[in-house]
Chains A and B, each alone.
Chain A
Amino acid sequence: MGTEHPLIEQFALLEPRDRLELLLDFSRSLPELPPEKKKEMLEGKNKVHECASPVFLWVSAIGGKVHIDAYVDPDAPTVKGFVSLLIECFEGMDIAQVSEFPDDLPRLMGISQSLGMQRSAGLTGIVNRIKKNAAEILRGQF
């Protein structure tokens, strides 16, 4: 996979107003966090500090393919939608390919104009965190 992904292209082709609508749709489809991870979350583990809103991520590899669990504060639907979108993009991807994923997703999706620099940077931080975790898993495998 190169730097393009059908979902990202889908966003970029929409009208700006509709991009945020789509992000809102995604926020509603974030899978529920498994119970054993809920406990870790309540202990403050796996928090993404680059983001202003409470976001917790677990990146793992199952058979060399990426799997992500996440919890996002329900009062942060923009972030929740973005994380939900990321999970859909990454789920099942080869872990080695995650590093090729672009950092500046908000800009590629065409939503950084609507969000502003600060909020966009927070979302970019989430992408970076996933890439970093994936790289750590890869190193651990060799």
Chain B
Amino acid sequence: MAHNALVSTEWVAKNLSDTQQYRIVESNEDVLLYSTGHIQNAVKIDWFTDLQDGTVRDYIDRSKFEMLCSSFGITNDTIVIFYGDKNNWWAAYAFWVFKLFGHKNCLIMDGGRAKWKAENRPVTTEIPQFQPTKYTATDPDLSIRSFRDDVLAFIKKSDQLVDVRSTMEYEGKVTHMPEYPQEGALRAGHIPGAKSIPWATAVNGDGTFKTYEELHSIYVRQKKLDPSNETIAYCRIGERSSHTWFVLKYLLGFKDVKNYDGSWTEWGNLVGVPIEKGEEKA
């Protein structure tokens, strides 16, 4: 592996009682799933209520992030381990937000909630309490984030834009996944020049990430992404692209990877931006 950003369920089971060094964070699509049972000493961070601003479409600001970390007894040196449902989509999303605010040590538990349950490991409904700590975040690190105008400029000079949605969404046959009708857009298709690499290409059936060799073969050899050049990933609302961002940056060691979190819910509704339909051009 190029980077050591994954830990196994076995490792978490062995280290979960060390709440001084480690903080386990569960992030799911369902806001109540944590309450049905979670890894002992894990705290819940909900992508919507905890990481999103309630009024403006944006992430929370620096001071809210500091308060969030403080409330969970997280210090600047705490090693935070993320896991969750849905193949760790939202764990990757939360990981990305922590990196946005400069948190040093972040890891993902490979296989997420599903693997932990599949291995019959114990869960608890007990909610851990931590003493509030001092936490100082950085200002948002925009070297990992792309905005609309960045993407407009990027597509004129680079072909390292990665669309991680399903093939049907990429080709413009549908504006949203059948299971997510509320995330539709007024137009279907993809951002011109984007490579189609559905996020699921990076994981095995059990939600664990593929090996470095397998990922390298897909993203670098087959799809011809250059790890030394800037790469931007997008999906519909930025959660699947966080997942691919993690793969490219932390598992494949790409130098410069950004998440365009506006993604298709922004681009597909934006007046006047170029859109392509159909299969990926060879």
Asked if B31 and A75 make an inter-chain contact with CB atoms under 8 angstroms apart, the answer reads: no
CB contacts (< 8 Å) of B32 on chain A: these are: 20, 23-24, 27, 77-78, 81
A102 at the interface (CB under 8 A from B): no
Bound Cα distance A76, B28 (Å): 10
- Chain B interface secondary structure, helix, strand, loop or mixed? loop
CB contacts (< 8 Å) of A20 on chain B: these are: 31-32
Bound Cα distance A27, B37 (Å): 13
Convert A113-132 into 0s and 1s, putting 1 for each residue whose CB lies closer than 8 angstroms to a CB of B.
Answer: 11111110110010000000
Chain B nearest CB, measured from A17 CB (Å): 10
**Which chain A residue shows the least CB distance to B49?**
A114
B178 at the interface (CB under 8 A from A): yes
Name the interface residues of A88-142: CB closer than 8 Å to any CB of B: 113-119, 121-122, 125
CB contacts (< 8 Å) of B178 on chain A: these are: 49
**Which chain A residue shows the least CB distance to B35?**
A24
Asked if A50 and B181 make an inter-chain contact with CB atoms under 8 angstroms apart, the answer reads: yes
Bound Cα distance A121, B113 (Å): 25
B179 at the interface (CB under 8 A from A): yes
Name the one of A23, A50, A77, A115 contacting B33, with C-beta atoms under 8 angstroms.
A77
Name the one of B31, B180, B237 contacting A115, with C-beta atoms under 8 angstroms.
B31
Name the one of B29, B31, B237 contacting A114, with C-beta atoms under 8 angstroms.
B31
A70 at the interface (CB under 8 A from B): no
Name the one of B33, B35, B113, B179 contacting A49, with C-beta atoms under 8 angstroms.
B179
Binding site for B on A (CB under 8 A): 20, 23-24, 27, 49-53, 74-79, 81, 113-119, 121-122, 125
- Could you list some 6 contacts between A and B, CB below 8 A? A52-B29, A77-B30, A77-B33, A78-B31, A116-B49, A116-B52
